[in-house]
A and B are shown apart, each in its own frame.
Chain A
Amino acid sequence: MDSNKKYWKGLEELQQTPAFVENNKGEFAEPIPVEDVLNEAGLSTRTPRRDFLKALGFGLGAVTLAACNRTPVHKAVPYIIKPEEVTPGIPNYYASSFNGQSVLVRTREGRPISLTANPNSIGLNQGTDATTAAVVLDLYDMSKLQNPQLDGKDVDWSTLDATVIDALNKAAAAGKQIVIVSNTVNSPSALTAIATFAAKYPTATHIQVDAVSYSGIVEANRASFGKAVIPSYHFANANVVVSVAADFLGSWLAGEEHTQDYIQNRDYKSLKNGRMSRHIQFESGLSMTGSNADVRIAIKPSEEGAVLVSLYNAITGQSLAGGVSNKKAQTAIMLAAKELTNNRGNAVVVAGSNDVNIQLLANAINSALGAYGAIIDLDNYSKQYQGSDAAFQQFLSAAAAGQVGAALFLNSNPVYDYVKAEDVTNALSKIDFAVSFADRADETASTLKAIAPASSFLESWGDASAKEGYYTIVQPTINPVFNTRQAEQSLLVWAGDNTNIYNFVRKNWEENILAGTGKTWNDVLQTGFIYKGSSVGSSYTANVDVNAVAIAIGTASKAIAGEFELKLYESTVMRDGRYANNAFLQELPDPVSKVTWDNYAALNPRDAEKLGLGENGKVTVEANGYSVELPIVLQPGQALGTVSVAVGYGRTKVGKAGNNVGQNAYPFARLVNGTVQLEAKATVSKAGGTYELAQTQTHHTIEGRNVVRETTFAKYLKDPNSESGRFADSHKTYDLWNKFESPGHKWVMAIDLNACTGCGSCIVACSVENNVPVVGRDEVRRRREMHWLRIDRYYTLEQEDGSKLTKEKEIAKATDYDYENVTVVHQPMLCQHCDHAPCETVCPVLATVHSSEGLNHMAYNRCFGTRYCANNCPYKVRRFNWFNYWNDSRFDNYLNNEFTQLVLNPDVTTRSRGVMEKCSMCIQRIQGGKLQAKMENRKLRDGDVKMACQEACSANAIIFGDVNDPESEVSKALRNERVYYVLEEINVQPNIGYMTKVRNTFEA
C-alpha cells in the first residue's frame, strides 16, 4: 500500500521550509483575525470593537433600507427580425479554423462563447491547446482598437484608404520597395490577396518572419533533401523517441498534434496491447515534454550538438569528433543508441535547436534510422512555420539603406519580438510610410503612421492550410464588433480591387481548392475542412556532409559554452507572446513550474545556493549586452550551470491584462549564420530585493498522502495490477452511511495518468465553459486561484546511481540531492464526486448534497460561506469566492465591463462573493444531453455528453460517461487493472478513477 517513493510538489515541501509548514497548517492562507477583534486589546486597535459594532449597525440598517427598493423592472427585448437559424437558448455551431486547426465555434444568440476541435476533422488534433480554448476571450478584448488610426487618431476607413493608396503610389512611383512583413501566412486566400496586391504594385514583396523561428529546420531540409519545408512528425509510428531539447509535446511545432500521436503508443489502450514507446529526452530546462519522458538527461545548451554527434557515432559506428563528455549523458546515449538501432524504421530523433548544423546532423541520424516516410513525412509537410530569418534581415538592411518606400505589418510585431529591437526601430524610421494590421496599438503598430485594425478570425472570411493538402475554412460567427476590416480585404481595397472578401474567398476555393474534389463550397462550410494529401510520406535519404557539420557544431558550441548558459524557450502557455492579453492564459499555471502571471529565471537549486539565493530571490541575467532582473524559480531538473527564461512575456503595449507582465527575453537571442538561436552564454548574478512569484505549486497540497501510483513498463507487463495498490482488494471496508443508489445514470470519470502530459488546456476549457473567474497575480499569491480543475505536478528524486530515493526516512537524512535528476508525474485533480462526500456532511445549510446520478451538487444560492466543506475536502478541490470577481473594480483586468462579459456561458451562473464553488461535472452539459435525448425520444447514448476538459484533451486522458452502462467507454476504462482511486483508504468512495503512471525506464 505505502508507496516506496516520495512525491513532492515543490522544494518547500521537500525541505519542509517554515513558511510551507505554516501555510499548510490552515486550509486558508490568511487566518481570520477573530481573536484580535474580540479580546480586550481589540478596543485599542485601529478598528476597535465599538467601531466595528457601529459599522455593523449602520451596515445592517443600510442594507435593510436598500432592500425596501422596488423590484427592478426587467426588459425583454426580442429580435426585430429573428434570423432563421437562431433560436434563443439553443447554441449554433459553425465550422471554422484557428491557427490552421479545424474548430467548431459555439455561438449563443449570435455571440461566440467557446471553441472546440472539429470532431470530424482528420487533420491535426482532436483536442485544443490552451490558446485555442482561450482565444474566444480576445474577441471581446476592450484593449483592441475600435477604429482605424492615422497618427494615433481615429479616422474612418475611406480617409485611411486614401492615405495608404497615396503613399503606396508614391513609393511605387519612386521605384522603392513595398514590403509586406508577416508571420507565416498559409492561408491560400490571403496569399492570393497578397498576390493581387503585388500585381498592382510591382515593387511589392512579401516576407515572412516568425517570432520563434524554425528556419534552421527549413534550411537543413533544403540542404539535405532539396525540400525547404518543415516535415510532419508522426510519433504514433515511433517506438523510440529521442528528443534533444525539443519540447515536441508543448511548444515545438505542432505540440497538440504530436501529443495525440505520441499518446497512442502510451495510453491505456496501447498498454492493454502490451505496447509502450520509450521516450528519452536530453535538455537543459525541465520542459513539459521532458517531464513526460521515460528517461531524462540534463545537459547544457552547448552540449546539444555534442549529444547528437555521440548519438550519430553510436548509431552509425563512425567516429566524428566533438562527442559529449558528460558521463551521465554518455551512458544514456549508449542505451538510447541501442534502443534506436533495435527499432530501426520505428525510431526518431528530434532536435529543438534552430541551428542549421544541428538539424542537419539530426537529419543524418534520422536518415540512418529510416525515419523518413512513416514517421517524418516530407510530402505532407507542415506549413505552420515558414518564416525566414534571413529574409527579414535583408529587409532590415534594405530599409536602413532607405530602399523601402512602404511597409505593411501583418501579424508581425518585430519591435517586441525581434532579437535587436533597435535595428527594427532604426529601419522603421527610414521607411517613408508604414501601416500595421494589428488589432491593437502594439509595440510596433504604435510607432507607425497608420493602423488598419484587422478583424478577429471569428469575424472574418478566410482559410488556412496548416499542412500540405489540408485546407480549412474560416467563417465569421459574428459581425465585426468594432469598426475593423480584415487584412485581406484591406489589401484588396488598396490594390484597387473592390471584390467583397466573401466572394473573393469563395472564388478562390471554387477555382483552386475544390476543383476536382467533387465537393461544393456549401459542403466545406459545413464540414470545415478538406484533405487532399497522400496517406503516407515517401522515404528520403539525407545527403549530409557530417564531418563538416560536426566541426561547425563544435565551433558553435564553444560560442555558447560558459559558466552559465542561457536557454530561451517558448512556454506551453504563453507561446510567443501574441496572446499575452488573454487573462485565461496568464492565469494558467506553467505545466512544470506552476508559475502564473510572470516569466522567471529557472535555476538549479544548487546553483541558486551558490549564488546565495533562496526562494523569492532575484537575479540579473546578462547576455548579448542585454540584461534584465528576473525572479528565480528553483527548478528541480534544471541542468547545472544553466538558466532558462521564457520568451513571450514583457509586453508593454498589449492591453490591460498583459502589459508589463514579466520581462522581454527576445533580445537575449542570437543571430548566428542567418538564423535566430535561443541559446547564449550568460552571466547570472544575485540582484537585490525579493519577488514573490504567483506560483500555485504547493497550493491545495495533499499533505504527503499517497495519491500518485507509479510503476514501470517491465513490471506492468509482468503484472498489470502492479503498484496500483487497490485498497478494496485487500481490506474490508465499513460504511457509516447508507449506500447511495444511482438507479438511472451514474456519471464517472477515468483519468489516464500515462496519457496526461500536463499541458493545461483542460483548465482553460473548464474556465471558459464554467465562467470560472480569473483572479489576478496578487490573489494567486494568496492561494485564491479559482480553477475548478488543477493539474498537480509531483517530483521524485533519483540518485546518481539510478536507484530511487526511497522511504521517507532516507529522504529526511539525505541532504545531498541530485536536483538534475528528477522524474515528474502530472495528475489532474478535480472534484471527485465522492459517494460518501465529506463536504456534504459538514455543510450546515445543505448547500452541497448528493444526487441520484452520483454527482455532488453545489447550490450557490444556498451557500453562505462557512467554508467547512473546503476544510473537510481531502482532495482540496473546493474554491471560495473571496470577491465578486465580475463586478469589482479591483479585478478590472478583463471581465469587468459589459462588453467582455458577453463571453460568459449563459447556461452557467456567475457566482457572487462569499460562496463556495467547485467542479460540477459540467452539469449543464449533462442536463442538456439528457434533454436532447428526451426531445428526440431516445435513450442517451455514450458520448452524447462530453465534459469541457475532455473535449479539450488531445491525449484523450479524460474519459467521462455513465458507469451504469456496461458498454460505455468509461466503464471499459474503469475495468482496467491500472485503475485506482485517490485516497481510496479513507472510503469516501470517489467517482473518478485514475490509472497508474507507467514509465518505460531502462531496466538495470
Chain B
Amino acid sequence: MRNISSVLGRLAKTVSVGLMLLFAVTMAHAQDVKEGETLFKSKCTTCHSVTRNMVGPALAGMSERHSEEWLISWIHNSQAMIASGDEAAVQLFNDWNKLVMTSFTDLSDDQIKSIIAYVDAEEAKAAAGPAEGEGGAGAAQSSDANTLMILGLLAIVVLAVIVIVVLNRVIHTLEKVIAGNQAAIEAAQAENEEYEENRFGKFARAFVRNKKLVGFAVLMLVAFLGVLGWNTMWNVGVHTGYQPVQPIKFSHQIHAGVNQIECQYCHGGAFKSKNASIPSANVCMNCHNTVTAADHYDGETSPEIAKIYKALDYDPATREYGDNPRPIEWVRIHNLPDFAYFNHSQHVSVAGVECQTCHGPIETMEEVYQYSPLTMKWCVDCHKTTEVNADNAYYDQLIEAHEKLKKGEKMTAAMIGGLECGKCHY
C-alpha cells in the first residue's frame, strides 16, 4: 500500500512538473504548435525526426543553431542558399553527404514558424523527462491494476479459508452427536458395506449376462475408434492451424490491421504472378528506414526491426549498407504439394477472391497460422460454388458458347472445367 502511494506521489510530481513546463513553452503558440504538428507529420517525417538523425539531421536545437530567417529561407530553397555561398548552408550540405533537401516553396513563413514552434515544443517535452514523463504514468497505472488484482485474489483466499474453518466447525459438532450412538451406527455400517458389495457384483454380473448390452457397448467402442481413426487418417498431411515460429516476430495485426497497409504493398506477386511472394528486405526498408518503433523500446530500435537491418547488413547509425547481407529464412506456412499448381493471380486478380477467403482473418493475426485446410476437397468445394467473374472479356468466348448450352444458368468455375485434373495437376 505504501508502495502504491509513493508511486502515485512521484507520478503526480513529475506530471505536474512536466505539465507546467509544457504549459510555459506552449502558452504563447498553442495554436501554432498544433498546426506545426500536422505540417511536420505530413511534410517532414519522411526524412527528419526531432530527436534522432535520419535521412536528414535531428531537428532538436535547430532554432538555437540557426536564426528563424535562415531556417525559413533554407526550407524554402536550400539549394539556392548553398549556391549563394551561405557558409552555414554549405557546411550543412557537406556534412550530410550532399543530400539535396526537397524545397518547400509552398509553405508560408507562418507555417514554417509553426513547424519550428512544434519542434521546439517537442524538444522541450523530450528534455523534460525522457525516462519518466508519460511513460512513467503508464507504468504507474499498470502497477495499480496489478495491485487491485492481487488484492482481489487475496480476498478470495481469505474467504475460502473462512469457509473451510466454518465447515470444519460444523463437522466437528456433528461428530460429537454421532459419538453418542456409536454402537448402533457401527452395526448399521457393516450391514451397509456388505450390501454395497453385493449390489455392485450383481450389477456387473447382470451386465455381462445381458448380451444386448455388451453388444451395444462393443459397437459403441468400435464406432468411437472408427470415427477417431477415420478423422486421424483424413487429417494426415492436413495442417490447419500450423503456426511455426518465425525468425522475425512479424505481426500482420499491426501492419495489415492497425496500419491498414494494403496486402499488395508487400505481396505484390499475388496480384500478378503464381507466387504471392514474401517481400524482400528492401520492401521492409521503405518504411523501416524511419519506423524503428523506438518509442516502445526506450529509444532503441526494436530488436525485431533490427533483424531486418542485420539481414541487409545495414548500419542505422551511419545509414550505410555493408557487404554481408544474409537473407531472412522464413518458415513456409502454406505448403501445397509439388504436384498441385496454384496461381495466385488467377484467384486474386482475375476472380477477385479476397485474401481472407483462404488466409483467414490475417489482419488480426499476431502470428500467421494456416487458416484453411488446403485439401483438394476444399479447393473443389470452392470451385463448385464460386461464380465466374463474367465481366472479364476473356470469358466472352466461353460464355457465348455456354449460353447456347445452358440458358440462364449461372456459371461456376466447375462448369468451365475448374474441376478437371489438368487444371491444377501438370
Contacts and interface: CB of A to CB of B under 8 A. Distances in A.
Contacts of B349: 934-935
Contacts of A741: 405
Contacts of B393: 937-939
A153 interface: no
A75 interface: yes
Given A80-B312, A89-B269, A852-B420, A75 B329 contact: yes
Contacts of B396: 939
A940 B272 contact: no
Contacts of B326: 80
Interface stretch (A170-178, A277-285, A853-861): A853-861
A859 B341 CA distance: 12
B394 A939 contact: yes
Interface of A: 71, 73-82, 87-90, 741, 743-745, 847, 849, 851-853, 855, 857-862, 907-909, 920, 923-924, 927, 930-931, 933-935, 937-940, 964-965
Interface residues of B, number: 56
A123 B285 CA distance: 47
Given A73-B331, A88-B273, 11 more contacts: A73-B244, A74-B335, A80-B282, A81-B325, A82-B280, A88-B275, A89-B274, A89-B275, A743-B398, A744-B402, A939-B394
B272 A90 contact: yes
B273 to A, nearest CB: 4
Contact of B331 (A76, A852, A908): A76
Nearest to B330: A76
Interface in B350-398: 350, 392-398
Given A744-B401, A934-B350, A88 B328 contact: no
Contacts of B327: 77-80
A268 to B, nearest CB: 26
Given A73-B331, A855-B422, A87 B404 contact: no
Tell me whether chain B's interface is mostly helix, strand or loop, or mixed: loop
Contacts of A908: 426
Contacts of B331: 73-76
A937 B328 contact: no
B346 A920 contact: no
Contacts of B350: 931, 934-935
B281 A80 contact: yes
A570 to B, nearest CB: 37
Contact of B339 (A71, A77, A79, A909): A909
Contact of A743 (B341, B343, B392, B401): B401
A923 B345 CA distance: 18
Given A82-B282, A931-B343, A934-B350, A75 B237 contact: no
Contacts of A965: 397
Interface of B: 237, 239, 244, 268-269, 272-275, 277-283, 311-312, 325-332, 335, 337-341, 343, 345-346, 349-350, 392-398, 401-402, 404-405, 416-417, 420-423, 425-426
Contacts, number: 161
Contacts of A909: 338-339, 425-426
Nearest to B338: A909
21 contacts: A75-B331, A76-B278, A76-B332, A78-B281, A81-B282, A87-B273, A89-B275, A90-B274, A743-B402, A744-B417, A853-B417, A855-B422, A861-B337, A861-B340, A907-B426, A920-B422, A927-B341, A927-B426, A934-B394, A935-B272, A938-B394
Contact of A907 (B278, B328, B341, B398): B341
B276 to A, nearest CB: 9
B278 A743 contact: no
Rank and list the top 7 A-B pairs by shortest CB-CB distance, nearest first.
Answer: A857-B422, A89-B274, A89-B273, A743-B401, A82-B280, A79-B280, A859-B421
Contacts of B337: 861
Contact of B394 (A89, A859, A924, A930): A930
B277 A861 contact: no
A940 B346 CA distance: 15
B12 to A, nearest CB: 50
Contacts of B273: 87-90
A487 to B, nearest CB: 29
A924 to B, nearest CB: 6
Contact of A849 (B335, B398, B421): B421
Contacts of A82: 279-280, 282-283
A9 to B, nearest CB: 31
A853 B275 CA distance: 26
**Residue among A81, A924, A940 with most chain B CB within 10 A:** A81
A527 B279 CA distance: 32
B278 A78 contact: yes
A920 B423 CA distance: 11
B346 A87 contact: no
Nearest to B339: A861
Contacts of B274: 88-90, 907
Interface centre among A90, A851, A934 (most CB of B within 10 A): A934
Nearest to A81: B282
